[in-house]
Structures are given as C-alpha cells and as structure tokens.
Structure 1
Amino acid sequence: MIQRFIELGEGLSDIYELMELARYNKERVQHMMAFHTIVKERPVTSLCVVMKPTAEGKFQAIYVCREGVPNPNMMENKRYSLFQQTAEEVEKTIIQLDVKPSTLFPEKDLYYQHLIAILRLNHYILPLQ
C-alpha cells in the first residue's frame, strides 16, 4: 500500500480544487481532515481529503492544502466554512487533529511521513503492509 500526500498549495484557488476533488470523487472520499498547528506564532490549519485506496495498484492519495488557512477554532474564516460545506455535501464529518508544524522538519517528505504515521496509529488509514 502506497500512501502519499499530494500538496495542492495554500491559496483560495487551491482550496476550491480540493473541494472539487471531494465533490467529484464523493464515493472515493474516505475522510476529510483538518490538521491544526502553530506556525510563526499564528494558529493555522491544513485541510485534507483522504481518498480510499485504488483497487489496482493499492495507492491511497491524501490531498492537502498545507497550513494555509487560519485555525477556525480561533477565528471563523471563509476558507474553512467552504470546506465544511463540502464535507456536508459528501456526507463526511471533518476529523480535527493537533499536529506539529511542517517547519519543525528539515524536509517536507519527513513531515508527511510523520502525518502518515499519525493517521495509521489512529486507524484513519490502513497500516503498512
């Protein structure tokens, strides 16, 4: 099983793309997630859509807009509200987790490996096979 984060970007247009991915792949969406953290003393959130693994190739994509949204638990914002509306459309509850910021890791790949470990330990994605 290959599980990989696919980073879209941090802007509003990237969040629109993330939402469209969820809408048009409604049957493949396994989870919608929000990872909360602090970057440069700012509370921010990464928005993620976790897809079910593909039947062939056993690939599981996790689309992410990394640390580009203000933390909705600190202040309401349009980006998170749009993501929440999309979650309701695809009949998913947003899973929220507090995580370390990506800036603590020397490489983005190590950060994503850390997040995959968290998701596996919490049984949100399948364990290493």
Structure 2
Amino acid sequence: MLKQLSIITMAALFVSNASFAKDSSLYLGFQYPGKAHNAISITFDDARHSQVDVGTAILDKHQVKATFYVSPFNVKERLTKWQDTVKSGHEIANHTSSHVCTGNFEWLRKQNLSLEETTLAWLENDILSVHKHT
C-alpha cells in the first residue's frame, strides 16, 4: 500500500510540475538554457567530506551545479577543495553556526541544541554569527 501511495504521489508531482512549467506567463523574460522547460534544484547539507572529495567531481563531469549549505567546522578540514568547488561554479550558502536541528537526535538534546528548545532570538543570533566564519 505504501509503495502504491508513493507512486501516486510522485505521478501527481510530475503532472503538477509539467502543467506549471507550461504556463509561460509565470516566467516572463526568463528562459532556461538550451531551450529546457524545467530545472532541478540540487542542494547538499553540512559540507560532508564526501561531497567535496567525491561528489563535486561527479557533478562537474555531468555539468551539473549544486548548492552546498556548509558548516564551518567541516569546510575548515577541506578548505582548498571547497574553494575549488566555488571556482568551478557551485554555490556555497551558510548553514547555522551551531547546526541546531530537531531534537530527534539524542546528541543534540544532550547539548541543548534541539530546535524545539530554542528561541527565535537565539536562532537569529546563531544564523547571523555564521558570518564570523566567512
């Protein structure tokens, strides 16, 4: 049943996407390169070493560009490779400084970093403080 539901959901997304893309009035003045009608956004999280050690070469081979939401502590360990990633046309975006996320992860609860326990003021400070690393 779950498999059937997944297939139905995917089919609905494709149909919805196809009909949305045909409405050219939504994209006045914009055309995708190579007469393409759709695009896929590829993003990666946390600056995992495998992303820059292996993944960017695969993306570059296929001329695909991605956005990487990086964490400073992982970038530092592969700084030159991340700099090369930017030079090859990929986008780097800021993550949060503390990598706060859901309390589903026990290690975050132990550090009092679960998203459910933060305030908006704390989260704003954490996001803005990432600029210290750029």
Same-fold call, TM cutoff 0.5: no
Compare relative contact order (CA 8 Å, sep 6+) and give the higher one, 1 or 2. Answer: 1
Higher strand share: 1
Structure showing greater radius of gyration is 2
